[in-house]
Structure formats: C-alpha cells, structure tokens
A and B are shown apart, each in its own frame.
Chain A
Amino acid sequence: MAATYATAGAGRPAHAARGGGMSDRAFAWALIAPAMAIILVFALVPLGYAVMVSFRMADLTRGGLREFVGLDNYRTVLFDQSFWESIAVTLKFTVAAVGLEMILGIAIAFLLHGATHGKTIVRSILILPLATAPAVTGLFWRNLYDPQFGVINWLLGSLGLPEPNWLGDIDIALWSVVLFDVWQWTPFVALIALAGLSSLPREPFEAAELDGASTWRVLRVLTFPMLAPVLFLVLILRTIDSLRLYDAVAVLTRGGPGTVTETMTFYLFRTGLKLFRMDYASTMAIFFLYALLVASVFALRPLLKQFTERAQAQN
C-alpha cells in the first residue's frame, strides 16, 4: 500500500531451523484462508455486480438491467448537483462529529484516568449509549428534540435559554445529528483511549516526574506518542463509519429539512431503493469507494508500516 515495507533485497532471514520454512508460509496462509473465503466472496461479488451495473442502464421498475451505456452513468453522476451537495454534507458531518468525538473522548479518558474511585460504574454508564441501536434510540431522540413536547427544549425553556427547532431549522439540523452521533460514539473513543492510557508502562513517567518535566511536556513527549497507534486506529474507524452515516439520518431527519442533512449514503439509498435507479446508485458507490481508497492509501500508511515492521522484526 504505501511505500513498500519489505526492505528490498534484504529479504527475510531464513528460519528454516523451525521445521521447514515452507510449512511456516503454508501455515500462515492456511490461517487466513477461512476469513478470506468469506471476505473475498461477499466483497468481490457485489463489487463486481456494482461495476457491471454502473456500465448499464438499470432501473428495477423499468425492466431491470438493460443495455450497455458506457460511461454515461459516470457523466450523469458527476454532473448531478444533489450528489455534490450530499458529499459536502457528509464531509461537514464527518469533520464535526469525528473531531468532537476524538477531542471529547480523549478528554474524558484523561478525566477518568485521574479519578481514584467509581471508575467501573462510570465506565459501564458510558457504554450505555453504545449498547443501544441508532435505529431505536435515534427514534427516541426525535422525541427528545421535539420543539413542543421534547424534554430538551423544556429544560432550556425553564432556564430561560432559547428553545431551538432542533430538526426543523435549516441552520442547526445537521448539528443536531452531529450531537446525537457524538452522544453515541464519544464513549467508544473514551473507553479505548482510557484503556490505552492505563496500559502505558509506569517507568518513563516516573523518570520524567523525577526530573520535574511539566505535565504539558510529559503529554507531548510521552503520553501521546505512546497512545498514537490506538488513537489512530479509532480515528480511522470512526471516520469510515461517519462517512457511511445512514441510520441516524434515516431515523432523525430523513435528510430534511430539504436536503440540509442528506448525507451521501442517504442520497444513495434514496436513488437506489426509492427511485430504484441501481445504475446511478452503483456509480455513486464506486465514486465513494474510489475516494476512500485514495484517502486511505495515505491515511493507513503509518499504521500498516507499524504492523508490517513489527511482524517482520519478530520473524
């Protein structure tokens, strides 16, 4: 993926000593065979189907798969205004949601790390938002967000604060969806960051403390670099999931008001499963996959380099 990892020419130290190198390689490939069998079939078949459909005219309610149209679908999607608008909404959502979740998550992790007692209770409460399905609690948040009957506006009203129309106001509808996503996923980041924190070895910190390093220096020099791999993995996973956001939008705002909260996947759902234009839907999916692949070739480079180097170092 990124730069080649195997140092050219050095090759791997032969370790025939351990009962024949060949059986090691065979063993390694045998280990991944079952998982790869499922992934290959259930990833490549639909991808192949989507690529094939993206070159043809396919409207399920107009005779299904029809004639070959070359790159016309790609041209139509490229010049589709709603498509680009939904990409803008998706990017806005991802940057806001993932940014907030990482900052708040790490802050909460530090908060809890320093706490002496009550950590387990707090940790189990934090898992609560995660244990509920967005399709179910998202529905309930629609009740909370109701301008007239909702609890949030009642609390704000009794404090004299303004009572916003959370899901109806074009300026704040997207931030209401972000708030729901932050509520659900910040604990995920916090729990993983907290675990990372509590797993750091003691010695370097005690040494730093002896020579009186300021907290900020310890954070910058010691804590964050050591936490980087775990946090980086969480960041990648949250970004991919936020870019594919569908459940929250489908339940809270259905893309409304207007198209203010219509993310890419929701527009894709509407095109594919409401208009049944599978050709446009597949083409959009391919654009989405392509963009993510290009981004992750660079984004995954450090993590992959770390995995492969640690794997080789131990051979």
Chain B
Amino acid sequence: MTFSQAWDAGFMAVLIFLGTVFAWLGLVEPVIGRGLLSTVLMTLVALGLGGAFVAHRKRRARKLLESVR
C-alpha cells in the first residue's frame, strides 16, 4: 500500500469518523439521551466504521498488487 493510498484511506476514514459523530449527535442522542455511555458508544462506533474502511482499502490494495504481479 503506497503512502498515497494510505493517506487517501486515512483521510476518508477521518471523514467517516466525523460523519458518524455528527450523525450520532443529531439522530441517535435525542433518542437514547446524552451521557457518558452514549458518548463512549458513539466513539466506538465511529472508530469501528473508520477502521473497517481502512481495512477494506488495505485488502483492495493487496488484491490489486497480486493481480499485477
């Protein structure tokens, strides 16, 4: 995975992380109420989604590498 691909995946992951946080504040929190629990949950979900995206990008890059070789 070249630096450029890593940077790209990282940037998109940050956008996804922030997107989940904002969505959570706007949509989920009015439902389940504020508090430490909801904040921790929110961070976990956001990190999870971001991490999943980076992993997806890593797999795709490796698959592309094999096909080229």
Which residues on A are within 8 Å of B, measured CB to CB?
1-10, 71, 74-75, 78-79, 287, 290, 293-294, 297
Contact = CB atoms under 8 A, between A and B. Distances in A.
Contacts of A290: 15, 18-19, 22
Interface in B1-25: 1-2, 4-5, 8, 11-12, 15, 18-19, 21-22, 25
Contacts of B68: 7-10
Contacts of A71: 21, 25, 39
B15 A75 contact: no
Nearest to A3: B8
- In the A-B complex, list the 6 residue pairs whose CB atoms are closest, starting with the nearest: A4-B5, A78-B26, A9-B68, A8-B64, A9-B65, A6-B4
A8 B65 contact: yes
Contacts of B1: 8
A10 B69 CA distance: 10
Question: A9, A293, A294 — which one has the most chain B CB atoms within 10 A of its CB?
Answer: A9
Nearest to B68: A9
A8 B61 contact: yes
B15 A4 contact: no
A89 B25 CA distance: 23
Interface of B: 1-2, 4-5, 8, 11-12, 15, 18-19, 21-22, 25-26, 29, 39, 61, 64-65, 68-69
Nearest to A7: B68
A9 B61 CA distance: 10
Nearest to B23: A78
B35 to A, nearest CB: 12
A294 B11 CA distance: 10
A93 B26 CA distance: 25
B15 A294 contact: yes
A312 to B, nearest CB: 11
Nearest to A75: B25
Contact of A4 (B4, B26, B39): B4
A79 B25 CA distance: 10
Given A10-B68, A297-B15, 10 more contacts: A1-B8, A2-B8, A5-B4, A6-B2, A6-B4, A6-B5, A9-B68, A78-B22, A290-B15, A297-B12
A287 B5 contact: no
A6 B68 CA distance: 13
B40 to A, nearest CB: 13
Nearest to B57: A4
Contact of A74 (B2, B15, B22): B22
B3 to A, nearest CB: 9
Most-contacted residue by chain A among B11, B22, B61, B65 (CB, 10 A): B22
A85 B8 CA distance: 33
Contacts of B65: 8-9
Contacts of B19: 290, 294
13 contacts: A1-B11, A4-B2, A4-B5, A4-B8, A7-B68, A8-B5, A8-B64, A8-B65, A9-B68, A71-B25, A79-B26, A290-B19, A293-B15
Contacts of A7: 68
A157 to B, nearest CB: 49
Nearest to A286: B18
Given A8-B68, A297-B15, A74 B4 contact: no
